[in-house]
Amino acid sequence: MITLLVIMGEGHRKNTTLLANIEEGYFPALQMSQELQEILTLTQRGFEDAVSFADEIILKINDKQRDAFLSRITRENNNPVVDRDVLNAISEEFQEYYTLTRDTTQKMITGSTEEQLFEDLRRMATARTMISERLKEGVKIRQEKMADVLSKTRKEYQTGLAIFLFATCVALAIMGIVSIWMVKTLSKPLDKLTAAARQIAKGDLTLNVPVESDDELGQLATSFNLMMGSFRGIMQGIRDAGLQINISASEINLGANQQAEGAAEQSSTVTEVSTTIEELSQTAGRIAENAQDVAQSAEETLKGMKGIKTNVDLVTKKILALGEKSQSIGNITKLIDEMSDRINLLALNAAIEAARAGEAGRGFAVVAAEVGKLAERSVESTSDIRQLIHEIQSEMNATIMSVEETTKWSDKGLEMVSDTAQVVKEISVATQQQKSAAEQVVEAMSDIDRVTRSFATTTKQTALNAKRLTELSTQLKSDISDFNLGATS
């Protein structure tokens, strides 16, 4: 195999070298020959154009073609397949040709017709043909060389391909043999493991796989046995936990049921308390209403009492006015008394006059006496009137005193009613507060009731869940009993 690969490598290296020669040597050389041919043609055409137009500037431009020709040759100096001497020879020949042709062309432009000119033209053509031939020969040599190299390369390639195909076939054959051997070696212990896994799937966890070797398969069997040990432990743990869960769930169920019963009882008690407090609140509300009624009545009484007081004041004023009037009457009686005095005096004077007149005044004396009597009677009458006025005034004073007493009592009554109204208002406020407090208690009790109900619901749910848990643990127990855990169970 290695020998074959070395041979293949050698062939490949040879091919690479040959192709590099074509790429770096023959092909650029061929290209150069063709390019030089083209430049040569262009140079010739430039001279012809200079002659045709009789222009020396075109000659000068044509010098650039010469430079291009020479620089192209210089570029191929490093080409490994080109002979340096040949390149130099072509360079010299071209320079010779160019100098000759330029001179000749110069002469033709200046219109010289000497004999030498035709000779020069002929030499010129010969030189150009020689260069052209040399270039064509170079092209031919290069093409032949390239064809030779290509045929060599093909040959090398075919040889390499044949070797490669052979080596591949041999390798495939070896790999097939090795594979069959390896499969035969590995399948036996794997079959045993598969059988053990099947047994486990059926629920037998007591199985142990025998360890026959010390390789990867042996390690696999050991690990398998270890895994089975852990698995057995886990399954036993699960079974024990299941039993424990079953017991606990039963206990939870019992407890939750008891809690639910307790919550229901509490809820009914709370409802009773709520009802009682609501009744209390209603009673307080009624008391508040009654107290408000009483307060209103007290207000009205107060108003009435105030009215009475006003009226009493009015009566007192009127009585006092009457007293003043009676006083005026007294004054009038005094006036009458004075007048009576005067009249009496006049009567006396008349009587005196009548007495002095003697017998003639006798009739007049009687009249005077009558007038005097009248005056006396009027004095008596005014005395009676004074007496009456005195009685009236004393009665009035007694009345005013009793009225004042009444006013005093009514003031006291007013005060008491006002106090009552105040107290009743306080009662009303207090009962209102009591009512609102009772309402708050009712609200709080309702909250408690709600919480208790929700608690009852939750505990019922818990009981249900515990029951479900019991069922699940029973299920788990029956599921686990499918597994054969050996003597440890």
Partner 1 sequence: MTLVTFSLKNVHYSIDVTFVEEVIPLPAITPVAKLPSFFCGVINLRGCAVPIIELRKWLDLEVACHELSNDIIVIKVDKKIMGLIVDKVLSVVDIQDHQIIPPPTMHEDIDIKYISGVVQLDSRLSMLIDLEEILNMADRSLACIDLKLSEISS
For 307, 339, 351, 354, 372, the CA distances from 369, given in Å and listed in that order, are 61, 17, 7, 10, 5
Q: What is the largest CA-CA distance in the chain?
A: 240
**Residue 22, interface with partner 1 (CB under 8 A)?**
no
CB 381 within 8 A of CB 325: no
Choose the binding region for partner 1 from 39-47, 172-180, 188-196, 349-357 (rule: CB under 8 A): 349-357
Q: To the nearest whole angstrom, how small is the minimum distance from the Cβ of residue 321 to partner 1?
A: 31
Which residue stretch of 15-23, 187-195, 256-264, 340-348 sits at the interface with partner 1 (rule: CB under 8 A)?
340-348
Q: At closest approach, how far in Å is the CB of 350 from partner 1?
A: 9
Judged by CB, which is closer to partner 1: 64, or 342?
342
CA 426 to chain centre: 56
Q: What is the DSSP string of 317-363?
A: HHHHHHHHHHHHHHHHHHHHHHHHHHHHHHHHHHHHHHHHHGGGGHH
Does the footprint of partner 1 cover residue 348 (CB under 8 A)?
yes
Cα separation, 378 vs 380, in Å, equals 5
Contact call for residue 365 and partner 1 (CB under 8 A): yes
Long-range Cβ pairs for the range 170-176 (8 Å, 24+):
170/1, 171/1
Q: Are 310 and 403 in contact (CB under 8 A)?
A: no
Minimum Å distance from CB 380 to partner 1? Answer: 16
Q: Which of 45, 342, 408, 412 binds partner 1 (CB under 8 A)?
A: 342
Rule CB under 8 A: choose which of 29, 40, 146, 351 binds partner 1. 351
Distance CA 302, CA 356 (A): 80
Residue 190 or 352 with smaller CB distance to partner 1? 352
Kindly identify the residues of this chain, within the stretch 366-405, that bind partner 1 according to CB under 8 A: 368-369, 372
341 counts as binding partner 1 under rule CB under 8 A? yes
Find the part of the chain contacting partner 1 (CB under 8 A) among 305-313, 339-347, 438-446, 480-488.
339-347
Q: At what angle do helices 216-357 and 115-201 cross, to 10 degrees?
A: 80
Q: Which stretch binds partner 1 (CB under 8 A): 119-127, 223-231, 262-270, 337-345?
A: 337-345
CB 145 within 8 A of CB 81: yes
For the chain, the residue count is: 489
356 binds partner 1 (CB under 8 A): yes
Residue numbers at the binding site for partner 1 (CB under 8 A): 341-342, 345, 348-349, 351-352, 354-356, 365, 368-369, 372
